[in-house]
Amino acid sequence: MIGLEYILQVHNIQHQEIAEQLGIKKQNINLWIKGKQNISKKYLPRLAEQFDLPEEFFQKELTEIERLIVQKKKLQKEINPVIVGYQQQLSFECENEPDIIEVPIYNTKEMNEIEFEIERVKVLEGFRNILAKVNKDYELNTFQQLVLLFQDHADEPVLRHTIDALSYYFGVLPDWVGDPDGEVIIEKLIDSFREFDSKD
């Protein structure tokens, strides 16, 4: 299913209705959706403006994240949410250096849920990409251990602090990011990593 068809479904718009809005025949919409004809460059900007989405969304198969963005844009139009704050999160969009982005916090549960889902899917895609490159038994074993740790101990502070310490140690997080409550534990863990390294 190409993006245009998915977008129309999400917005509950019939082919005839969008054809009338664009001033073209329904047959053109059908050809676009079936992939028998590209969407005319004349209409792409109009569609992008109407749905507040990038032009490329309309002529390709959408990823899971892109489908969530379509849902988010529709929800924004329907409920007109207000941003009440921002939450810092690690960005998965920067491959070379770690980056922290500010994700909006809205005054509505629905918008916050879809924002969370978008970030969750980004993390899942990150894991899929890494697992696709795993080709050694010990690497797979490490991931299996991580799954077990998170399955049984995700809420344990020692697990979170250990991951924070490892992130600082390997430069995954910028130096200025931190949890004041866990800084002493993190420093002790980093010191123990350094001590272990010096023995090698």
Query: What's 30-81 look like in SS3?
Result: HHHHCCCCCCCCCCHHHHHHHHCCCHHHHCCECCHHHHHHHHHHHHHHHHCC
| pLDDT score for 193 | 65
Q: Write down which residue in 62, 78, 110 finishes a domain.
A: 62
Examine the domain organization and report whether 99 and 195 are in the same domain.
yes
| pLDDT score for 137 | 93
**pLDDT for residue 44 is more than 70:** yes
The mean pLDDT value for 122-147 works out to 91
Tell me the CA distances in angstroms from 191 to 139, 168, 194, one per residue in order: 25, 11, 5
Q: Is residue 82 situated within a structural domain?
A: no
How many other C-beta atoms lie within 10 A of the C-beta of residue 64?
13
Examine the domain organization and report whether 56 and 137 are in the same domain.
no
Q: Is residue 73 situated within a structural domain?
A: no
Examine the domain organization and report whether 192 and 127 are in the same domain.
yes
Q: Is residue 155 situated within a structural domain?
A: yes
Examine the domain organization and report whether 54 and 109 are in the same domain.
no
| pLDDT score for 53 | 97
Does an H or E element contain 83, and which? strand 83-90
| pLDDT score for 165 | 78
**pLDDT for residue 96 is more than 60:** no
| pLDDT score for 103 | 86
Q: Please report which confidence band the pLDDT of residue 13 belongs to, taking 50, 70 and 90 as the band edges.
A: very high
Question: What does the alpha-carbon distance between residue 70 and residue 72 come to, in Å, rounded to a whole number?
Answer: 5
Q: Is residue 81 situated within a structural domain?
A: no
Show the tokens assigned to 99.
């980056």
Examine the domain organization and report whether 187 and 136 are in the same domain.
yes
CATH of the domain at 15: 1.10.260.40
Q: How many domains does the chain have?
A: 2
**pLDDT for residue 97 is more than 60:** no
Q: Convert 14-39 to b/e letters by CB count within 10 Å (16 or more is b).
A: ebeebbeebeeeeebbeebbeeeeeb
DSSP SS3 for 84:
strand
DSSP SS3 for 105:
strand
Q: Is residue 44 situated within a structural domain?
A: yes
**pLDDT for residue 175 is more than 80:** no
Over residues 126-138, the pLDDT tens digits come to: 889 899 999 999 9
> Is residue 66 packed enough to be buried (19+ CB in 10 Å), middle (13-18) or exposed (0-12)?
middle
The pTM score is: 0.78
Examine the domain organization and report whether 35 and 126 are in the same domain.
no
Mean pLDDT, all residues of the chain: 86
| pLDDT score for 176 | 57
One-letter amino acid of 167: S
Domain containing 168 equals 94-199
